[in-house]
Amino acid sequence: NTPLHELDPAVAAALDAELERQQTTLEMIASENFAPVAVMEAQGSVATNKYAEGYPGRRYYGGCEHVDVAEQIAIDRVKELFGAEYANVQPHSGASANQAALFALAQPGDTILGLDLAHGGHLTHGMRLNFSGKQFKVVPYHVDSATGLVDMAEVEKLAKEHRPKVIIAGWSAYPRQLDFAEFRRIADAVEAYLWVDMAHFAGLVAAGLHPNPVEYADVVTSTTHKTLGGPRGGIILAKKDFAKKLNSSVFPGFQGGPLEHVIAAKAVSFKVAASEEFKERQRRTVEGARILADRLTAADAREAGVNVLSGGTDVHLILVDLRESELDGQQAEDRLHEVGITVNRNAVPNDPRPPMVTSGLRIGTPALATRGFTAEDFTEVADVIAETLKAPSPFGAADADALKARVKSLADKHPLYPGLNK
Ligand code: PLP
């Protein structure tokens, strides 16, 4: 029972430093969040020791009576949360959920239609080097370059031309809501399955702030750690006709023993996600993103070459367009890092700069909303970001210091994980 700090000071020091980084900087990576302490407690529990291949009540190992309870709670809660007929809570990650879902719906060599990675899609939606791109015939659809919105006329045209087995609706970098009803209509017209990957916006759906894809899709996948605010992991929801296929695709298709400690943590996070406090947090998340979009489309930002794709946002993130700026995505990411704000650079559609540099930033508000940021705080964050991106080069230490002090006072105002420091 030697504590971590004694047993392994090197790893303990790295984790302490990570806690401090999360506490003292502003986390604005759109796919990140802060899990509640109770979720981390479940994730750090003795359930990590248990083998439980199979499903609750039908395991290939003895001694599963208690993890069965926790896994069944997770299944029941997530079905209730999203109004789903079927749920599988075992996928180790979003990518694992997507792999299991895709192989349940299609065979290698079949055609799939997904949003192009460079236009906001995810690796698992058909990227060349991913299993999805290697084993399936991929037809990518795109956003319209004038509006920044998914081009549904193109989706329909490509669907009719290529008759895909699966149409994928979902994204990693897109600031608007998709038209699920229209996707369903197109899928029905070509007899394709509709799979929605709601990894990014699942928390908004749970809070009733975003249309629920479960009402339209055959299969819905998600991560549990983005807007949903739980432990790192994946889930699959579906109509019950797909239950058998999906269960066997996850296990034994792609996975062995489920991570029962993570599943227990998922169960806790689904309880949180059904609460009023969670809804209120998701409202601040969306409000914060709108405040950022307004600030970064203001006249002074645009004069400095800073703009926002699609002109705004309906969700928890914005995509900053730096095509007209002297700063590229890498430089902008580095500058914000220097003042204590963590974001990631992101290609914009038809990006003139190379993929490692890019002409955009993806900025999200879930983690700060979880920290308690209000509209007033988000307004100050938006000002700091705008001033950082507008400042002429070279961006010296003196420029950074003043902005850094403002970031520090915001971080101090909303302490994160008080009591966890050793
Ligand atoms: N699906 C979407 C839309 C995502 O944005 C991501 C992660 O960024 C994933 C799936 C994959 O999730 P994970 O990183 O847990 O494999």
* CA distances for 289 relative to 128, 210, 239, 373, angstroms: 31, 14, 32, 12
Kindly give the number of the ligand 1 atom that is closest to the alpha carbon of 171: 3
Q: How many other β-carbons are positioned within 10 Å of the β-carbon of residue 240?
A: 9
Supply the pLDDT for residue 124: 97
pLDDT, tens only, 184-210: 999 999 999 999 999 999 999 999 999
Q: Is 90 exceeded by the pLDDT of residue 408?
A: yes
- Report ipTM for this prediction: 0.99
Ligand 1, atom 4, lies closest to the CA of: 172
In a mutational test of the pocket of ligand 1, which residue from 33, 96, 130, 172 has the highest number of ligand atoms less than 8 Å from its CB? 172
**pLDDT interval class at 376 (50, 70, 90):** very high
* In the predicted structure, residue 396 carries a pLDDT above the cut 90: no
| Tokens, residue 235 | 């889930």
Residue 351 in this model has a pLDDT that exceeds 90 = yes
SS (H, E, C) 81-136: HHCCCEEECCCCCHHHHHHHHHHHHCCCCCEEEEECHHHCCCHHHCCCCCHHHHHC
The token pair that represents 156 in the structure block: 């329909």
Q: Report the nearest atom of ligand 1 relative to the CA of 121.
A: 3
Q: How far apart are CA 338 and CA 377, in angstroms?
A: 20
- In this prediction the pTM is 0.97
Residue range 363-391: average pLDDT? 98
Q: Does the pLDDT of residue 349 top 90, yes or no?
A: no
Catalytic-role residue among 197, 328, 377, 387: 197
Residue with structure tokens 């796919």? 31
Predicted confidence (pLDDT) at residue 422 exceeds the cutoff of 90? no
Average pLDDT for residues 294-305, to the nearest whole number? 97
How many whole angstroms from 402 Cα to the centroid of ligand 1? 35
Asked if residue 125 has its Cβ within 6 Å of ligand 1, the reply is no
Q: 318: pLDDT confidence band, cut at 50, 70 and 90?
A: very high
pLDDT value, residue 207:
98
226 labelled catalytic: yes
Tell me: the pLDDT tens digits for 114-136? 999 999 999 999 999 999 999 99
User: Pick the catalytic residue: 79, 185, 232, 271?
Assistant: 232
Catalytic residue among 50, 176, 184, 226: 226
Cβ–ligand 1 contact at 316 (below 6 Å): no
Averaged pLDDT, 52-74: 98
Single-letter amino acid code for the residue at 86:
Y
Tens of pLDDT, residue by residue over 325-340, are: 999 999 999 999 999 9
